[in-house]
A and B are shown apart, each in its own frame.
Chain A
Amino acid sequence: MSGAGADKTLTEEAFMHMIKLKVNGYVQELVVKPHQTLLEVLRGPLELTGVKEGCGLGECGACTVLMDGKPVNSCLVLALEADGSEILTIEGLARAGGLHYVQKAFVKEGAIQCGFCTPGMVMATVGLLQENPNSSQEEIKEGLRGNLCRCTGYVKIIKAVEAAAEMMREGEQT
């Protein structure tokens, strides 16, 4: 690299950036490197290990979190790109009053086996039902096609989502 003025030194310092996130209701200021993903920051410095890393390529959905209310794969978002946004992870879902209704429904229907996909599955479900609490079974299947489960065969998961949708329509806690 020669002659290009301002960028002559690509030192470690040039790679550090300050970001501000609101994670599960709390404002967090962090220093991150450009190549760090949101997932790495959530699991690393913020110790939110409920967010799982499965494939790391946006195929399994285990790392799903809500970013400004929308479900995204946190492994495919640079931490820098999340600057200024609001993040909700599985850890922030339960309130003082108890589990979130989607969590309750997953427990009630036994939609969990090894549990690795569950946080991502639950967050994708919350995103789906917030957008459309009247999702049909087809829409539920489409909405969760980015979340892989290697244990359950999905039947109980879909039942749980339907049960959660019903609770939501009946106006349980949100």
Chain B
Amino acid sequence: MKSFKYLCPKSVGELSKILYRYDGKARVLAGGTDILVMMKQGKLQPEYVVSLQAIPNLAYIREQKNGGIKIGAMTRLREIEASSIIQTKYPLLSKAAGWIGSRQVRWRATCGGNLCNGAPSADLAPPLICLGAKVIIGGRAKRTLPLEKFFLGPGQVGLRRGEFLQELVIPPPLPRTYGIYLKFTRSAMDIAVVGVAATASFKEEGECNHLRICLGAVAPTPLRAVEAEKIGLGKRWDEERILVMARMASEEAKPIDDVRGTIYLRRHLVEVFTKRILSECLEQAQTKP
């Protein structure tokens, strides 16, 4: 690994100043499980590495009065996976965290790092987008952004000069909402070939009154399948409608061919997974009161 200058700010204010000053030359080090690999392979050679580990209060899972939660950017994936609060309120999120890498990786890797890498395959993104998560961005002035708007392209996220991801805010789960995340990989340790998440809820009479579908690894950014959502919203679902929605999601995907899979395989997987997830949501709604 090529050497670099290691900076270790003690506060978010100091961090912001450093990032502003060394814009373009500095990389933020959170858990390091991705960027150290890239640095070892020579794909990344930053002049400055800015560690977040000495900054207090960046790692936490806090329940809010309104029933939602806040997650600090330095919270380790293993903690998200094992948190009883998250397992109860947002089971799809804890599952997605648990599917990343190995346990050794998850004890280092952080939720902030998973999102700031800007990978289209980031496992946390589809569930978090379905859950309506927002990111709190620190810097000279704090600002809030829906997570959906945070991703700009492969490896690119909506952080301006001097800014960093500080916190995730997840709104309280809607009553009678069911959510699932499925991921297709070649092996246990690999990144997603395709990831699909959805959350849905239904009125007593059976009409769907909330639906979000988000696809991972099939577009330059995590992608909401908005047209598929339109087909399901406000309607009662049957097998036929679910199939139409799944086909629409597959059409909305903009996948590429790469070593992990072809365009054809990815579109097919989106359809199969979307169908499976939506059927499961409906079944849960019908069986669980």
Give chain A's interface residues, CB within 8 Å of chain B.
4, 7, 10, 14-15, 17, 33-35, 37, 56-59, 61, 64, 67, 70-73, 76-78, 80-81, 124, 127-128, 142-143, 145-147
Contact = CB atoms under 8 A, between A and B. Distances in A.
Contacts of B36: 37, 58, 76, 78
Given A4-B21, A58-B101, A145 B51 contact: no
Nearest to A40: B1
Closest 3 CB pairs of A and B: A146-B102, A34-B6, A70-B107
B238 to A, nearest CB: 35
A124 B29 CA distance: 24
Interface string B1-24: 111111010000000000001000
Interface in B17-57: 21, 29, 32-33, 36-37, 39-41, 49, 51, 53
B287 interface: no
Contact of A73 (B8, B53, B104, B188): B104
Contact of A146 (B1, B51, B104): B104
B5 A72 contact: no
A37 to B, nearest CB: 8
B23 to A, nearest CB: 12
B3 A72 contact: no
**Interface SS, A side:** mixed
Interface residues of B, number: 30
A70 B78 CA distance: 10
A124 B33 CA distance: 17
Given A58-B104, A146-B101, A35 B1 contact: yes
Given A124-B103, A128-B103, A146-B189, A77 B49 contact: no
A85 to B, nearest CB: 10
A67 B104 CA distance: 10
Given A57-B40, A78-B32, A145-B189, A72 B6 contact: no
Given A76-B33, A77-B32, A7 B5 contact: yes
Contacts of A4: 21
B167 to A, nearest CB: 21
B105 interface: yes
Contacts, number: 87
Given A59-B189, A78-B32, A33 B107 contact: no
A56 B101 contact: no
A77 to B, nearest CB: 7
Contacts of B3: 15, 33-35
Given A35-B39, A72-B104, A77-B32, 5 more contacts: A56-B40, A70-B107, A76-B105, A78-B29, A145-B189
B108 interface: yes
Nearest to B105: A58
B51 A127 contact: no
A35 B4 contact: yes
B37 A81 contact: no
A174 to B, nearest CB: 20
A124 B104 contact: yes
Interface string B90-122: 000000001001111101100000000000000
B37 A76 contact: yes
Contact of B29 (A70, A81, A143, A146): A81
Nearest to A120: B104
Task: Indicate the member of B104, B105, B108 with the most A CB atoms within 10 Å.
Answer: B104
A120 B108 CA distance: 16
Nearest to B190: A59
Contact of B32 (A10, A33, A64, A81): A81
A71 B5 contact: no
Contacts of A127: 103
A10 B46 CA distance: 13
Contact of B2 (A35, A71, A72): A35
